[in-house]
Amino acid sequence: THAQSLLEKDCTTITPPYQSLIDNLRRVRKFLNRPLSLAEKILYSHVIRPEETFASKAKVRGEVYLQLRPERVAMQDASAQMALLQFMSAGLAQSAVPASIHCDHLIQAVEGATEDLKRSIVTNQEVFDFLKSAAEKYGIEFWGPGSGIIHQIVLENYAAPGMLMLGTDSHTPNAGGLGGLAIGVGGADAVDAMTGTPWELKAPNIIGVKLTGELNGWATPKDLILNLAGKLTVRGGTGSIIEYFGPGLDNQSCTGLATMANMGAEVGATTSTFPYNARMRDYLRATGRSGVAAAADEAASQGFLSADEGTDYDQVIEINLSELEPALNGPFTPDLATPISKFGDFVKSQGWKDEFSAALIGSCTNSSYEDMTAVADLARQANSVGLKTKVPFLCTPGSEQIRATIERDNITKSLEDVGAVVLANACGPCIGQWKRDDKQGEENAILTSFNRNFKSRNDGNKLTMNFLASPVMVTAMAFSGNLSFNPMVDSIPLADGSSFKFSPPTRQDLPEAGFTPGNPEFYPVRNPQPQPKVEIVIKPDSQRLEILEPFGSHFGEHNSRGLELPPLKVLLRVRGKCTTDHISAAGPWLKYKGHLTNISENLLITAINDEGGDMNVAFDKDTNTSGTIPEVAKRFKARNQPWALVVDDNYGEGSAREHAALQPRFYGCGLIVARSFARIHETNLKKQGVLPLWFSDKSDYSRIGSGDTIETIGLADVIEGKTDAQIELRVTRPDGETFKIPTKHTMSADQLKWFSAGSALNYIRYTLN
């Protein structure tokens, strides 16, 4: 039942329900009497109860929490593991929304596509087997290793104008190239959508980017976003959606827009979007989705897929495409943008060697047919005068469809003729899966058409400087090997004494002969039905995967305090900044993402204990000993001693990483009292059954310390729905001194139900049975 032809796709399940969205938006407009931006139309039309959300709210953006119902979820192989383990513990027979799994992050680039794929399948077999079996059981589309990179596959198959989708990867916004809203989230958020729980988002601000003029010559959509990243910086988009508009959009290909949306993540934007245009229609048709195109045409005719006249953006940035110059961004941060004409001087001023050691093109950001035709044109120009690339030249196709189409159209051959090595259709060097032995510990530069360039991201060497550029810049410069080479003006000397200068590349956005799907084995069964009899494959002795045991309730026979928490021992008082990375470190721990026991060994290992100022130290006052934080937490767990944390301001900022909430809960944490919480993490704690409380008076933070015992007073009233009930903490010091501390909480009625059940997933399981 593999899809043999792109035309076999069933459009009915992948078209957003335009009419009901438009109807819902009408209800919203009763309360919001003003022109709406495109992003607002898409977002607000997905709000579950518009009347409750918008009634009497003068300001929405940046203020109101929206309860949303996304239409689709996509997960990559690294983050899908914990998402699925959590989903399993909800006890549902199938996902509430269509979902897909993509095996791309775990594939390591060593020598080339075929061998790399074989080897990575062996190394990661147990993870792939688990993901596949879970996909079969719950009716999720499973794109196996080698099928392609999540964002490219989503664009080719699932994204649609006006759609709201979630993906467990930060570059999920790539799908915005088709005029929807695609948002990168943590696994717990994906599980919300998959269990039919409303997904919450604070209404973002809207940054309008007005495009005028026309790209020409060497400038590409990648240069536009590189330029915008320079303007906005890595924080400039936080809490905002970037919405593009203006006449400059008319000539942009859908895949070019996807590149721009992809890298909106680099400025911290929630996502990016564009009004529906004819190029999107062409792309939908070319990828076998004429039905979606027709439905989108109809929705657009009702004004749904573009902003209202007179939309008021929170900020407007205008860019004239005619003046845009190609840029190289980096090293080590994606917002350090230098125009190509100044790049040589920049390199000199930094004292770096005027050379680079590898050129990498493709990835989820830049492997469209248009990108590949443009780089092939440059390769042919160079090949016609006998030039080969001066440095290793690696190309990562984004999907099997792209790989097969560029092979058929002789693009691959043109690249190989000048020295390219084609890697597997997977993330590879883009996510550090690049086995590169010859440059370890050496300062060197690489050019990539990827999207991120933090230290060590590509080859694990923190001295490798990655400059992000368009695929055409990366390719043309690969023939020189010098960082100061500007292909727009400079020539390359040839052996016969003459010299060669590139002409601006020509490109074609869609293949004349249509896309070819390639190897049918890489395609999943479409619209699969759940198969409840399938056994989920997890080896009992696995070090990478572990079934998630549901967390027990805090209440019941073991707790004589009724609906108050049992007495909790304070594990430590955390000082200062404590991000989700401090709570659950990444790096080498990533391999344990699907194994809660193993990954919990990293709990808070970079947090500072305010009593003494040391990192990763906790005191066990009952035994008068100390240990690392995970060690002491584990001892408490072994003693069946529930515990609490006292934390500082903005606890849990950084990301939606659900491990940062799962791990403390796993060791027995029932309560975290903070000066303040980062909202997403606070919600994640609630989902896992940890009670987050805020100090009413922030100075009370210093009054509680390790070894103190905390009892809640008033929690029972709050759970029983008594309005105005407050929760106080009775603190008992080891020497017997007792005092009370007032707190505030942000638990909604639904969240209190989750808490009473022990976790949101327990609640879902109980209500179903």
Q: How far is the CB of 398 from ligand F3S (least distance, A)?
A: 8
53/368 with CB nearer ligand F3S: 368
363 binds ligand F3S, rule: CB under 6 A: yes
Residue count at the site for ligand F3S (CB under 6 A)? 13
* Piece of 49-57, 149-157, 217-225, 688-696 that binds ligand F3S (CB under 6 A): 149-157
State whether the Cα torsion 370-374-377-383 is positive or negative: negative
Rounded CA-CA distance 577/369 in Å is 44
* Piece of 144-152, 624-632, 710-718, 737-745 that binds ligand F3S (CB under 6 A): 144-152
Helices (H) and strands (E) in the chain, counts: 25, 30
Q: Is 377 a catalytic residue?
A: no
Q: How far is the CB of 530 from ligand F3S (least distance, A)?
A: 27
Rounded CA-CA distance 151/397 in Å is 12
Q: Which of 71, 77, 116, 169 binds ligand F3S (CB under 6 A)?
A: 169
* Piece of 18-26, 424-432, 438-446, 485-493 that binds ligand F3S (CB under 6 A): 424-432
Q: Which of 46, 151, 403, 452 is catalytic?
A: 452
Q: Is 655 a catalytic residue?
A: yes
Which alpha helices (H) appear in 546-628, and where do they start and end? 580-583, 596-599
Kind of pairing between the strands at 728-732 and 738-744 = antiparallel
331 cis-preceded (ω within 30 degrees of 0):
yes
* Piece of 148-156, 290-298, 463-471, 547-555 that binds ligand F3S (CB under 6 A): 148-156
Q: Is 657 a catalytic residue?
A: yes
Q: Which of 14, 74, 106, 150 binds ligand F3S (CB under 6 A)?
A: 150
Strands (E), 372-474: 393-396, 420-422, 444-448, 464-468
Q: How far is the CB of 448 from ligand F3S (least distance, A)?
A: 10
Q: Which of 680, 757, 658, 664 is nearest to 84 (CA)?
A: 658
Q: How far is the CB of 429 from ligand F3S (least distance, A)?
A: 9
Contact present, 178 and 254 (Cβ < 8 Å): yes
Q: Is 544 a catalytic residue?
A: no
364 binds ligand F3S, rule: CB under 6 A: yes
Subset of 435-494 contacting ligand F3S (CB under 6 A): 450-451
Q: Which of 80, 305, 387, 431 binds ligand F3S (CB under 6 A)?
A: 431
Rounded CA-CA distance 544/551 in Å is 20
Q: How far is the CB of 226 from ligand F3S (least distance, A)?
A: 15
Question: Cβ–Cβ contacts within 10 Å for residue 170, how many?
Answer: 18
Write the CA distances from 71 to 160, 257, 275, 300, 331, integer angstroms: 10, 21, 19, 19, 37
Contact present, 308 and 33 (Cβ < 8 Å): no
Q: Which of 465, 478, 488 is nearest to 353 (CA)?
A: 465
Q: How far is the CB of 441 from ligand F3S (least distance, A)?
A: 24
CA 171 to chain CA centroid, Å, is 5
* Piece of 24-32, 58-66, 405-413, 427-435 that binds ligand F3S (CB under 6 A): 427-435
Q: Is 554 a catalytic residue?
A: no
159 binds ligand F3S, rule: CB under 6 A: no
Q: Which of 42, 149, 286, 617 binds ligand F3S (CB under 6 A)?
A: 149
Structure tokens at 90: 């909800």
In one-letter notation, the amino acid at residue 144 is G
* Piece of 143-151, 156-164, 287-295, 381-389 that binds ligand F3S (CB under 6 A): 143-151
Q: Which of 77, 89, 104, 357 is catalytic?
A: 104
Subset of 303-342 contacting ligand F3S (CB under 6 A): none
Subset of 74-113 contacting ligand F3S (CB under 6 A): 104
Rounded CA-CA distance 40/2 in Å is 38
Q: Which of 46, 132, 137, 171 binds ligand F3S (CB under 6 A)?
A: 171
Q: Which of 46, 61, 102, 105 is catalytic?
A: 105
Tally the residues of the chain: 769
Q: How far is the CB of 458 from ligand F3S (least distance, A)?
A: 10
Rounded CA-CA distance 688/126 in Å is 26
Rounded CA-CA distance 160/154 in Å is 9
Q: Which residues make Cβ contacts (< 8 Å) with residue 662, sequence separation at least 6?
A: 82, 596, 688
3-class SS at 163?
coil
Q: Which of 61, 72, 151, 595 binds ligand F3S (CB under 6 A)?
A: 151
Q: Which of 116, 169, 189, 648 is catalytic?
A: 169
427 binds ligand F3S, rule: CB under 6 A: yes
Q: Is 105 a catalytic residue?
A: yes
Contact present, 158 and 72 (Cβ < 8 Å): yes
- Contact residues: ligand F3S, CB under 6 A: 104, 149-151, 169, 171, 363-364, 427, 430-431, 450-451
Active site residues: 104-105, 169, 452, 655, 657
